[in-house]
């Protein structure tokens, strides 16, 4: 019997602590607006569109943080099934392998296990979204000029989490009765990145057939 989603996706299973929006801020109000649209049953293609009069960088920032929280929760639930033994390489099937690179420990692309890659990825994103110079929260402080480039990199790497989970851990999704929830999260993510052209089409190739089936 499928578990209810509250059991499957418990907040206690998050891979990293959830990032929250400060009540009373413009970002918080945008977040509430986005969540209300999601719960209203509107078509997801419509939900992701920039509301009239809103700043595009604020809209993207709200969604990047929300997707981080959601995907972090999905992977956190799968984490015990994704081990150094079961997933010695961060991959999406036999054709796609993802290597890790950052500005600290791994200055050259490194071949890592999936759990190690995920740990570094979530810590890296958490560091960025908590950095006031990248994701400013104070009123009147502008976003950096390269903000959308940073978000493209974050979202591209988060897409790889979907690739790995769908291709290597889909049986776990099914066994927990979480397929509908994960599919909805993926569709929301996919429509958003396509609406604002935030992820290169070539990065989407590993899930192309599945995306055509559930998103069109």
Q: Which residues does the annotation place in the binding site for Zn(2+)?
A: 82, 87, 164, 169
Residues 6+ apart with CB under 8 A from 104: none
Binding residues: 82, 87, 164, 169
Q: Distance between CA 213 and CA 64 in Å, rounded?
A: 25
Q: For 174, how many CA atoms within 13 A lie in the half-sphere containing its CB?
A: 6
Residues 6+ apart with CB under 8 A from 73: 9, 11, 13, 14, 15, 18
Dihedral of CA atoms 179, 7, 40, 200 in degrees, nearest 10, equals -50
Residues 6+ apart with CB under 8 A from 7: none
């Amino acid at each position: 019997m499928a578990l209810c989603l509250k059991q499957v996706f418990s907040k206690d299973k998050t891979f990293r602590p959830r990032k929250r929006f400060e009540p009373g801020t413009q970002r918080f109000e945008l977040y509430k607006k986005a969540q209300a649209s999601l719960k209203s049953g509107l078509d997801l293609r419509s939900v992701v569109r920039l509301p009239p009069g809103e700043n595009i960088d604020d809209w993207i920032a709200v969604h990047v943080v929300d997707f981080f929280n959601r995907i972090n929760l999905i992977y956190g639930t799968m984490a015990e099934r994704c081990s150094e033994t079961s997933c010695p390489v961060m991959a999406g099937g036999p054709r796609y392998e993802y290597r890790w690179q950052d500005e600290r420990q791994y200055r050259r692309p490194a071949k890592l296990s999936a759990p190690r890659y995920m740990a570094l990825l979530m810590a890296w994103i958490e560091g960025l979204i908590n950095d006031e110079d990248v994701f400013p929260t104070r009123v009147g402080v502008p976003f950096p000029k390269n903000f959308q480039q940073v978000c493209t990199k974050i979202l591209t790497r988060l897409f790889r989490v979907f690739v790995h989970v769908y291709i290597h851990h889909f049986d776990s999704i099914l066994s927990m009765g979480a397929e509908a929830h994960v599919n909805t999260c993926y569709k929301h993510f996919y429509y958003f990145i396509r609406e604002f052209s935030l992820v290169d089409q070539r990065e989407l190739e590993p899930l192309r057939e599945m995306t055509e089936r559930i998103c069109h």
